[in-house]
Structure 1
Amino acid sequence: MSSPRRRPDVAIVGAGLVGLVMAERLTALVPGVQVLVVESSGRLGGLCASQWNDHLGVNVHPRGTHVLATSSRRVWAYLTAHTRVIPYRHRVFASYQGELIPLPLGLEAVEAVYGGGLDPDQARRLVETDTAPYRGRVPLTVEDVALAKVGPRLYEAFVHGHVSKQWGVDPSKLDPEVFTSRFGLTFTRDNQYHPGSRYQGLPAGGWGAMLHRLADRPGIRIELGRQATADDPPEYTRACVVTSPIDQWFGFDQGVLERRSLAVEWRRTEVREAPRAATVTYPDPSVPYYRTHAPALLPGGGATVTSSKSLVGYERHGPGEYQTDFVLRSPANKVLADAYRRHAKHLAAGGLLFAGRGATFYDDMGTSIAAALTCATALSRRLRHA
């Protein structure tokens, strides 16, 4: 007769990047700890799950392109300890009148709107003339801060359509951080997308392969297809870490955080019609999609098997098979999210913790790994000394 299975010390809700990094760290830092990871879907990896497409010979992240860009030595050391990293400095372009303009906005964008042949000083003066009427005000929305930073012409060419198509709402309804976290303006050429990040790269074999290795560790048990809430929590004896949406966990008892969705549709596209860069955004409202992803153009992504077809992901606002939901960055949502976080904070002493995108608006890969490492380190101390 087999002995009953030991109840886990820690339960983690969500088998995405944050949940699996935390699970791996806890079992490494606390000898003998047992961690249960429950995941509502039928797969590991969350938003950065990936898979190999045998037919076209490319490594695909179905929900889009995920590049690590960080200045944290700790995050980089963790990643390189668990996978071979392909050095790669990501570049993102905006399609404007048939040309690819590097993002964040730089001298190429100014010339596309105002005319070519500008030196940095000339470009700066033109933009400053356009922004002058909007400066000096307290920015309350994306539109406010964008007009003060880049002026109406660059705003209409590159910002308004980009933000509207991504979020499904006019920029005048969104928090300024939507602009400040993703846009900028320099008067140099050929800008990098993450110019201030010291470490940038892609895990060889994709994020999915690395996350499966993290999960395949003694002391970690995975349960897929298991929905967990405050009314139906997973079993644990010491702590429960929730990485799923915070309002959903509490049964929306204080209200529903308004969300928007982006979905990626993957198509075999004629090479001559495929994007010329790995990631391109389309601010033109007449284009039905917001962004494209071409994994074959990423290092380590593989090469197409046929010479005439390439796999391209067309990302648009709305629901779909490969859908990502974002909490809308609106003033009302910020108030409601803070209320949920205050409620969660009162429960931390009892071992209920919140981490990852479940309790925040948006985190990139580096921020997510850093948060997971910090939370796992603090929790491991509590487990060892209790």
Structure 2
Amino acid sequence: MTTSAASKGKILIVGAGLSGAVIGRHLAQDGYGVTIVDSRDHIGGNCHTERDAESGVMVHVYGPHIFHTDDEEVWDYVNTFETFMPYKNRVKTTSKGQVFSLPVNLHTINQFFDKTMRPDEARQFITEEQADTSIEDPQTFEEQAMRFVGKELYEAFFKGYTMKQWGCHPSELPASILKRLPVRFNYDDNYFFHKFQGMPQNGYTVMIERMLDCSGIEVRLNTTFSAEMAEGYEHVFYAGPLDGYFDYKLGRLGYRTLDFERFNYEGDYQGCAVMNYGEVDVPYTRITEHKHFAPWENHEKSVCYREFSRAAEPADIPYYPIRQVKEKALLSEYVELANAASGVTFVGRLGTYRYLDMDVTIREALDTARGFVEAQQKGVKVPAFFVAPV
């Protein structure tokens, strides 16, 4: 993380996660002097990884992050900074005293209903005997699930997990949360469909360190942004909470946050990286065993997290934007404030109040940096958002 005299002006970036690192590097290479500030004592944001001193396991400190994308440019980009090892996310779930495979696939269906159906038989069985075809236009999460898999699979694998994750009944959530129900009528248990999938060999933090190791970039940790800090900079890229930039003057946008109960284990605790718990009487949503996120490594000991979801309080780390009716209304008001502001562009998950996968975050950061350079060349106003959050 080095710095040198800027030839094109000074840029301030708030947030040393993926958005800030990608934008910062691109602009530094284009001749700007870049200062990146972050309130935490480390880079990487919620992607931060570090090795556990006792076990040697690479720990995803803020919960697991699995890289998957169909965007070849983004895949090539991350591999410039770190070698991505092959990794397929194969999730298991405990329900009704048994362990099943997710997403729901032919093995799950046959095991759950104690059958040995072929793909066409299973499809017909779900469509004709399980799915509630009277629901023609699903409006809620519950209706979407009932329409496509039926009551039994919905209650076993989706209802309880969703209630714990979002803190409300699935009938209160929009159908869009379950955009496409992951049901497969074959034995494919790879959680993602994407062409490129993997894990950084030495963790995400090492990857982001290499992104930031660029002439023209200065990183200041343990530094909380304030409006006065923007003085003297040509432009600010803000990856913090959108409402926080305006001191929450209109109220706070809603988030869910996660609590992690970390524990060590002598040996292999659960035999897989992710075990979901779909039943409401189990207070946590899942257990993650971090050594299984790096199957190319061998570790005798293990580090595990139990995950608990709850409504975020002001002092909590925000994870998932709620984006229900009242939040969208408030978001629209903040977007108006942002569009009226000058000299600032809002980026990333918090800055645009959207849940973003890592590949989309990187894609939008690249496009934003390029868009900024182009706007400067043309002498036009840099927008508050390169991707509209509403």
**CA–CA separation in structure 2 for the residues paired with 1:285 and 1:59:** 30
| Residue 175 (structure 2) aligns with | 176
1:262 maps to amino acid: L
| Residue 234 (structure 2) aligns with | 238
Superposition pairs of residues 285-324 of structure 1, within 5 angstroms: 285-299=280-294, 302-304=297-299, 307=300, 309-318=301-310, 324=318
**CA–CA separation in structure 1 for the residues paired with 2:206 and 2:97:** 36
Superposition pairs of residues 51-200 of structure 1, within 5 angstroms: 51-128=50-127, 129-137=129-137, 139-180=138-179, 183-195=181-193, 197-200=194-197
**CA–CA separation in structure 2 for the residues paired with 1:123 and 1:100:** 20
| Residue 11 (structure 2) aligns with | 10
| Residue 245 (structure 2) aligns with | 249
Residues 338, 175 of structure 1: alpha-carbon distance in 2 compared, 3 angstrom cutoff: farther
| Residue 379 (structure 1) aligns with | 372
Alpha-carbon offset, residue 258 of structure 1: 1.5
| Residue 368 (structure 1) aligns with | 361
CA contact (8 A) 2:78 2:207 kept: no
CA contact (8 A) 1:261 1:324 kept: yes
Output one character per residue of 1:327-382: Cα deviation in whole Å (capped at 9) or x when no partner. Answer: 213222223223322432333xx331111101132101111111111111111223
**CA–CA separation in structure 2 for the residues paired with 1:41 and 1:134:** 51
Superposition RMSD in Å: 2.4
**CA–CA separation in structure 2 for the residues paired with 1:357 and 1:379:** 19
Structure-1-length-normalised TM-score: 0.88
Alpha-carbon offset, residue 163 of structure 1: 1.1
| Residue 25 (structure 1) aligns with | 26
Residues 64, 253 of structure 1: alpha-carbon distance in 2 compared, 3 angstrom cutoff: same
3-state SS of 1:200 partner: strand
Alpha-carbon offset, residue 310 of structure 1: 1.7
**CA–CA separation in structure 2 for the residues paired with 1:118 and 1:340:** 52
**CA–CA separation in structure 2 for the residues paired with 1:94 and 1:322:** 28
Q: Does 212-221 or 118-127 show the bigger shift?
A: 118-127
Residues 212, 142 of structure 1: alpha-carbon distance in 2 compared, 3 angstrom cutoff: same
1:217 maps to amino acid: C
Aligned match for 2:320, one of 326, 335, 342: 326
Gaps of 5+ in 1: none
* Pair 1:265 & 2:261 matched: yes
Structure-2-length-normalised TM-score: 0.87
3-state SS of 2:249 partner: coil
Query: Across the two proteins, how many residue pairs are aligned to each other?
Result: 370
Alpha-carbon offset, residue 8 of structure 1: 6.2
**CA–CA separation in structure 2 for the residues paired with 1:131 and 1:296:** 38
| Residue 36 (structure 2) aligns with | 37
CA contact (8 A) 1:23 1:220 kept: yes
**CA–CA separation in structure 2 for the residues paired with 1:35 and 1:158:** 47
**CA–CA separation in structure 1 for the residues paired with 2:49 and 2:360:** 20
CA contact (8 A) 1:63 1:323 kept: no
Alpha-carbon offset, residue 169 of structure 1: 2.0
Output one character per residue of 1:24-81: Cα deviation in whole Å (capped at 9) or x when no partner. Answer: 11112x12x1111111222211000111112101111111211111000110111111
Alpha-carbon offset, residue 270 of structure 1: 4.2
2:185 maps to amino acid: F
| Residue 284 (structure 1) aligns with | 279
Gaps of 5+ in 2: 380-390
Q: Does 197-206 or 170-179 show the bigger shift?
A: 170-179
Alpha-carbon offset, residue 301 of structure 1: 6.8
2:83 maps to amino acid: R
Residues 103, 323 of structure 1: alpha-carbon distance in 2 compared, 3 angstrom cutoff: farther
CA contact (8 A) 1:86 1:300 kept: no
**CA–CA separation in structure 2 for the residues paired with 1:36 and 1:357:** 20
Identity of counterpart residues, as a percentage? 28
* Pair 1:216 & 2:213 matched: yes
Residues 255, 301 of structure 1: alpha-carbon distance in 2 compared, 3 angstrom cutoff: farther
CA contact (8 A) 1:144 1:172 kept: yes
3-state SS of 2:374 partner: helix
| Residue 337 (structure 1) aligns with | 331
Alpha-carbon offset, residue 205 of structure 1: 0.4
3-state SS of 1:132 partner: coil
Residues 104, 87 of structure 1: alpha-carbon distance in 2 compared, 3 angstrom cutoff: same
Residues 60, 189 of structure 1: alpha-carbon distance in 2 compared, 3 angstrom cutoff: same
